Amino acid sequence: MPFTIAIDGPAAAGKGTIARALAERFGFAHLDTGMIYRAVGAIGGDPIEAARRLSATDLLRPDLRSATAGQAASRVAAIPEVRAALIVFQRRFARTGAGAVLDGRDIGTVICPEAEVKLYVTADDRTRAARRAAELGADYEQTLAELRERDARDAARDVAPMRPAEDAVVLDTTLLSIEEATSQAAALVAQRLENHRG
Give the chain's end-to-end CA distance (angstroms, integer): 12
Task: Determine if residue 12 is labeled as part of a ligand binding site.
Answer: yes
Q: How far is CA 112 from CA 16, 95, 104, 118, in A?
A: 17, 9, 11, 9
Beta-carbon contacts of 28 under 8 Å, excluding residues fewer than 6 positions away, are: 3, 5, 22, 97, 98, 99, 100, 101
Task: Determine if residue 9 is labeled as part of a ligand binding site.
Answer: yes
Q: Which residues partner with 169 through β-bridges?
A: 119
Task: Determine if residue 10 is labeled as part of a ligand binding site.
Answer: yes
Q: What is the DSSP letter of 111?
A: I
Burial of 81 (0-12, 13-18, 19+ CB in 10 A): middle
Angle at the Cα of 128 from the Cα atoms of 54 and 89, rounded to 5 degrees: 20
Task: Determine if residue 14 is labeled as part of a ligand binding site.
Answer: yes
Q: State which amino acid sits at residue 48.
A: I
Task: Determine if residue 13 is labeled as part of a ligand binding site.
Answer: yes
Q: Can you tell me the distance from the alpha carbon of 50 to that of 146, in angstroms, rounded to the nearest whole number? A: 25
Q: Can you tell me the distance from the alpha carbon of 48 to that of 15, in angstroms, rounded to the nearest whole number? A: 27
Task: Determine if residue 11 is labeled as part of a ligand binding site.
Answer: yes
Q: Which positions make up the binding site for ATP? A: 9-17
Q: Which positions make up the binding site? A: 9-17
